[in-house]
């Protein structure tokens, strides 16, 4: 019982990680570290999902083999996780040989058991989500199967029709077992509200699941039939067990030690796979169910999901360089309610750094150490008897620890850390109310007691925030010479206020951000590669209104190394203020009086606090070189592109 196994989804490697994938991974890392603090032996799994149509198509577009293509992103993933101090135990790649072999054996077991049969599939498929639409979801689909199909309910992109021979897993046979399981385990999915969607999906009737593909070549060869490769989700979900030794002779003990997982973390987009297909696969293999699925909402930009395909993803590397890992981890863990979709904005991040981190935590440490230094105090011993005010602070310390444990038990991270934040404020209030700068002159014993109580409170704060901000909190604990060892239940020990502290000089923990460092412009616009099998309908194309416009004036945007602000005459679409990230490539005078092509029906977007009322079309060579697009001969402003 003293073990804890936690997983993240394995990410598709079509690009570097983005803030959304970082979010899931940080949540898992925080929970893993929290369990370590309580003396648990933990295993934290993350990795990459590398097979399937989506990856094959993206690789083809990049002119690489699928394996070369996925290999090229692995170091970016590992580097990002390192930057953000993601302390995983193992990084699985679904191209790892042990995984491939174990998946094949797993399939063979299902075949032997009679849970798999060969037939043919026809229906609508979403390549970006690698998912088959259910009959209900496919309602209203066009009769002409050459057309694009209904929008995918998960990502809203159009689907395409596939018709091929495949092997089916008898998912329908597990419908009632799944419903019983949900009924008996109401906390299987957390937050609990998400369970209802799953139950109604299963109750609406489960069809057998296609678990092989013949039109896709990039995948795990299906046992006994060279024409087929394993459907990517049947391959990928198994990572959670193959990584810890499933079906590997020499790893039986390891598998028995870690399975079932305590918690599997994921975004709400992939609940169906984890709450329906995954338990059914486990049931078919006579394996126990994971104890909980922790399902979080999406990071949004404005009212849209942050996603590669929408071109609004934020690059973790940029955030790392600008703000450091701890502040970003703090923001993701404490400001996003796991239960909901939450916006992410640079402005909010900077505000939290200034108010919560610099003004509250940093300042508390600073005030205490400065005052001690001023009075030549280095060593602080616990008093013989605590004052009433200090005892009250101790009580608040104890209550906070119990509340945090209660909230984290149900993985309610933002609620848990809101309690810690209150305790930091409470400690600041205590310090202020005691007026230790006066006591230093009048009552040395009382003065030393305030320092001792503050050090104990700081020890709690540093330790309890360690899962969220590991390196900054290690510095804080170092300042009072109170590094913890991950040995036994560290949290329990925080209730004992009997420590002696040695004060040490440490670098400033957090600095206030006086004026905004960067702007939303840094939200990197990166359109997801349109995979070659995805075609769009002419209807989709004409939704985008493209017109010719003449650039009337251009000025560089102050504080931005990328942006130019232009006034563009778009004829009957008016004179538009449009921002373009092309400062590196053009001087303003290169552009004035030139004609370009502009999207005029995009939602206006704020950039550097000003509204951009359109978008200039540029060609991008993939190495960050941009060239604006201009008509071959002068055109009347407002001319439509079609």
> In whole angstroms, how close is the CB of 565 to ligand MSP at the nearest point?
29
Cα 565 to Cα 396, 561, 562, 581, 598: the distances in Å are 53, 12, 10, 9, 14
> In whole angstroms, how close is the CB of 527 to ligand MSP at the nearest point?
16
> In whole angstroms, how close is the CB of 619 to ligand MSP at the nearest point?
27
Q: Which of residues 49-88 bind ligand MSP (CB under 6 A)?
A: 49
User: Which one of 10, 276, 280, 469 is in contact with ligand MSP (CB under 6 A)?
Assistant: 10
Q: Which is nearer to ligand MSP, 277 or 598 (CB)?
A: 277
> In whole angstroms, how close is the CB of 10 to ligand MSP at the nearest point?
5
User: Which one of 37, 178, 220, 236 is in contact with ligand MSP (CB under 6 A)?
Assistant: 236
Q: Which of residues 138-197 bind ligand MSP (CB under 6 A)?
A: none
What residue ranges in 27-86 does DSSP mark as E strands?
A: 41-49
Q: Which is nearer to ligand MSP, 33 or 305 (CB)?
A: 305
Q: How far apart are CA 268 and CA 254, in angstroms?
A: 30
How crowded is residue 227: how many other Cβ atoms within 10 Å of its Cβ? 13
User: Which one of 12, 88, 168, 579 is in contact with ligand MSP (CB under 6 A)?
Assistant: 12
Q: Is 9 in the site for ligand MSP (CB under 6 A)?
A: yes
Adjacent-strand bridge partners of 501:
380
- Do 580 and 563 form a contact (C-beta atoms < 8 A)? yes
What is the pairing mode between strands 11-12 and 41-49?
Answer: parallel
User: Which one of 4, 5, 24, 449 is in contact with ligand MSP (CB under 6 A)?
Assistant: 24
Q: Which is nearer to ligand MSP, 7 or 449 (CB)?
A: 7
Structure tokens that stand for 438 in this block? 């006066």
Q: Is 269 in the site for ligand MSP (CB under 6 A)?
A: yes
Q: Which is nearer to ligand MSP, 133 or 306 (CB)?
A: 306
Q: Which is nearer to ligand MSP, 73 or 510 (CB)?
A: 73
Peptide bond into 260 cis (omega under 30): yes
Cα 350 to Cα 30, 99, 388, 562: the distances in Å are 21, 42, 37, 21
How crowded is residue 264: how many other Cβ atoms within 10 Å of its Cβ? 24
- Do 257 and 41 form a contact (C-beta atoms < 8 A)? no
Q: How far apart are CA 328 and CA 306, in angstroms?
A: 16
> In whole angstroms, how close is the CB of 413 to ligand MSP at the nearest point?
14
Q: Is 448 in the site for ligand MSP (CB under 6 A)?
A: no
Q: Which is nearer to ligand MSP, 300 or 456 (CB)?
A: 300
Q: What share of the chain is helix, strand, coil (3-state, %, to 5)?
A: 45, 20, 40
Structure tokens that stand for 110 in this block? 């299902």
> What is the contact mask toward ligand MSP in residues 34 to 53, using x (rule: CB under 6 A)?
---------------x----
Q: Is 499 exposed, middle or buried (0-12, 13-18, 19+ CB in 10 A)?
A: middle
Task: Say how many residues touch ligand MSP, by CB under 6 A.
Answer: 21
Q: Is 267 in the site for ligand MSP (CB under 6 A)?
A: yes
Q: Which is nearer to ligand MSP, 45 or 479 (CB)?
A: 45
Q: How far apart are CA 299 and CA 313, in angstroms?
A: 10
Q: Which is nearer to ligand MSP, 229 or 563 (CB)?
A: 229
Q: Which is nearer to ligand MSP, 12 or 182 (CB)?
A: 12
Cα 81 to Cα 16, 46, 340, 364, 481: the distances in Å are 11, 10, 24, 30, 28
Residues in CB range of 532: below 8 A, 6 or more apart: 57, 60, 61
Q: Is 94 in the site for ligand MSP (CB under 6 A)?
A: no
Q: Is 246 in the site for ligand MSP (CB under 6 A)?
A: no
> In whole angstroms, how close is the CB of 166 to ligand MSP at the nearest point?
20
Q: What is the CA radius of gyration of the chain?
A: 28
Binding part of the chain for ligand MSP, among 83-91, 145-153, 263-271, 402-410 by CB under 6 A, reads: 263-271
- Do 266 and 295 form a contact (C-beta atoms < 8 A)? yes
Using Cβ positions, the residue closest to ligand MSP within the complex turns out to be: 20
Q: Is 21 in the site for ligand MSP (CB under 6 A)?
A: yes
> In whole angstroms, how close is the CB of 534 to ligand MSP at the nearest point?
16
Structure tokens that stand for 127 in this block? 């390549």
Q: Is 477 exposed, middle or buried (0-12, 13-18, 19+ CB in 10 A)?
A: buried
Residues in CB range of 129: below 8 A, 6 or more apart: 152, 154, 155, 269
User: Which one of 202, 229, 237, 328 is in contact with ligand MSP (CB under 6 A)?
Assistant: 237
Q: Which is nearer to ligand MSP, 58 or 494 (CB)?
A: 58
> What is the contact mask toward ligand MSP in residues 122 to 141, using x (rule: CB under 6 A)?
--------------------
Q: Is 23 in the site for ligand MSP (CB under 6 A)?
A: yes
Q: Is 270 in the site for ligand MSP (CB under 6 A)?
A: yes
Q: Which is nearer to ligand MSP, 12 or 510 (CB)?
A: 12
List b or e across 312-344, with b for residues whose CB sees 16 or more CB atoms inside 10 angstroms: bbbbbbebbebbbbbbbbbbbbbbbbbbebbeb
Residues in CB range of 641: below 8 A, 6 or more apart: 546, 547, 548, 597
Q: Which of residues 289-318 bind ligand MSP (CB under 6 A)?
A: 298-299, 305-307
List b or e across 439-455, with b for residues whose CB sees 16 or more CB atoms inside 10 angstroms: bbeeeeebbbbbbbbbb
Q: Which is nearer to ligand MSP, 71 or 269 (CB)?
A: 269
Q: Which of residues 353-372 bind ligand MSP (CB under 6 A)?
A: none
Q: Which is nearer to ligand MSP, 23 or 81 (CB)?
A: 23
Binding part of the chain for ligand MSP, among 7-15, 138-146, 483-491, 631-639 by CB under 6 A, reads: 7-15
> In whole angstroms, how close is the CB of 23 to ligand MSP at the nearest point?
5
Q: How far apart are CA 105 and CA 99, in angstroms?
A: 10
> In whole angstroms, how close is the CB of 594 to ligand MSP at the nearest point?
37
Q: Which is nearer to ligand MSP, 86 or 237 (CB)?
A: 237
Q: How far apart are CA 80 and CA 86, in angstroms?
A: 9
Binding part of the chain for ligand MSP, among 17-25, 32-40, 200-208, 284-292 by CB under 6 A, reads: 17-25
Q: Which is nearer to ligand MSP, 158 or 239 (CB)?
A: 239
- Do 612 and 578 form a contact (C-beta atoms < 8 A)? yes
Q: Which chain residues interact with ligand MSP by CB under 6 A?
A: 9-12, 20-21, 23-24, 49, 236-237, 239, 266-267, 269-270, 298-299, 305-307
């Amino acid at each position: 019982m003293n073990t804890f196994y936690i997983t993240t989804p394995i990410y598709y490697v079509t690009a570097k990680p983005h803030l959304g994938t970082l979010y899931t991974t940080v949540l898992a890392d925080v929970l893993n570290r929290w369990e370590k603090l309580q003396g648990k032996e933990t295993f934290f799994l993350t990795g990459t999902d590398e097979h399937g149509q989506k990856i094959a198509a993206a690789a083809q577009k990049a002119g690489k083999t699928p394996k070369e293509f996925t290999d090229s992103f692995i170091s970016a993933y590992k580097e990002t996780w390192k930057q953000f101090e993601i302390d995983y135990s193992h990084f699985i790649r679904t191209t790892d040989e042990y995984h491939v072999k174990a998946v094949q054996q797993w399939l063979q077991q299902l075949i032997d058991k009679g849970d798999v049969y060969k037939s043919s599939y026809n229906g609508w498929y979403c390549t970006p989500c690698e998912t088959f639409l259910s009959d209900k979801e496919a309602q209203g689909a066009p009769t002409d199967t050459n057309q694009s199909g209904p929008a995918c309910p998960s990502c809203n992109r159009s689907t395409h029709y596939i018709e091929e021979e495949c092997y089916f897993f008898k998912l329908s046979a597990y419908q009632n077992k799944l419903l019983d399981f949900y009924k008996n385990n109401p906390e299987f999915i957390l937050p609990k509200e998400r369970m209802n969607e799953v139950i109604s999906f299963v109750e609406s009737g489960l069809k057998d699941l296609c678990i092989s593909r013949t039109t896709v070549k990039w995948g795990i060869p299906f046992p006994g039939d060279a024409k087929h490769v394993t459907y990517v989700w049947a391959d990928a979900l198994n990572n959670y067990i193959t990584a810890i030794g499933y079906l590997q002779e020499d790893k039986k003990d390891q598998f028995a030690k870690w399975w079932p997982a305590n918690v599997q973390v994921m975004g709400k987009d992939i609940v169906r796979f984890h709450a329906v297909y995954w338990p059914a696969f486990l049931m078919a293999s006579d394996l126990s169910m994971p104890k909980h699925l922790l399902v979080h909402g999406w990071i949004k930009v404005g009212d849209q999901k942050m996603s590669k395909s929408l071109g609004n993803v934020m690059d973790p590397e940029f955030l790392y360089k600008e703000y450091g890992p701890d502040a970003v981890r703090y923001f993701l863990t404490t400001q996003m309610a796991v239960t909901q979709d939450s916006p992410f904005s640079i402005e909010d991040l900077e505000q939290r750094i200034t108010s919560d981190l610099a003004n509250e935590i940093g300042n508390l440490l600073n005030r205490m150490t400065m005052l001690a230094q001023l009075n030549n105090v280095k060593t602080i011993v616990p008093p013989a008897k605590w004052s009433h005010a200090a005892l009250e602070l101790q009580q608040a310390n104890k209550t906070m620890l119990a509340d945090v444990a209660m909230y984290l038990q149900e993985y309610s991270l933002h609620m848990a850390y809101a309690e810690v934040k209150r305790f930091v404020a409470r400690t600041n209030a205590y310090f202020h109310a005691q007026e230790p700068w006066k006591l230093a002159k009048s009552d040395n014993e009382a003065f030393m007691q305030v320092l001792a109580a503050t050090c104990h409170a700081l020890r709690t704060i540093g330790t309890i925030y360690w899962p969220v901000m590991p390196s900054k909190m290690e510095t804080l604990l170092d300042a009072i010479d109170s590094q913890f060892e991950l040995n036994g239940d560290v949290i329990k020990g925080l209730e004992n206020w009997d420590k002696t502290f040695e004060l040490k000089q440490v670098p400033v923990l957090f600095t206030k951000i006086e004026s905004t460092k960067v702007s939303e412009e840094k939200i990197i616009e990166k359109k997801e590669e349109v995979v070659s099998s995805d075609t769009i309908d002419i209807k989709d194309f004409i939704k985008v209104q493209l017109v010719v416009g003449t650039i009337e004036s251009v000025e560089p945007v102050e504080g931005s190394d990328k942006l130019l602000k232009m006034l563009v005459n778009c004829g009957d679409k008016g004179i538009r203020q449009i921002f373009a990230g092309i400062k590196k490539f053009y001087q303003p005078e290169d552009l004035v009086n030139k004609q370009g092509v502009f999207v005029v029906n995009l939602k206006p977007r704020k950039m550097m606090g000003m509204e951009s009322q359109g978008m200039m079309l540029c060609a991008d060579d993939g190495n960050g070189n941009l060239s604006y697009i201009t008509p071959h001969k002068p055109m009347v402003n407002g001319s439509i592109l079609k």
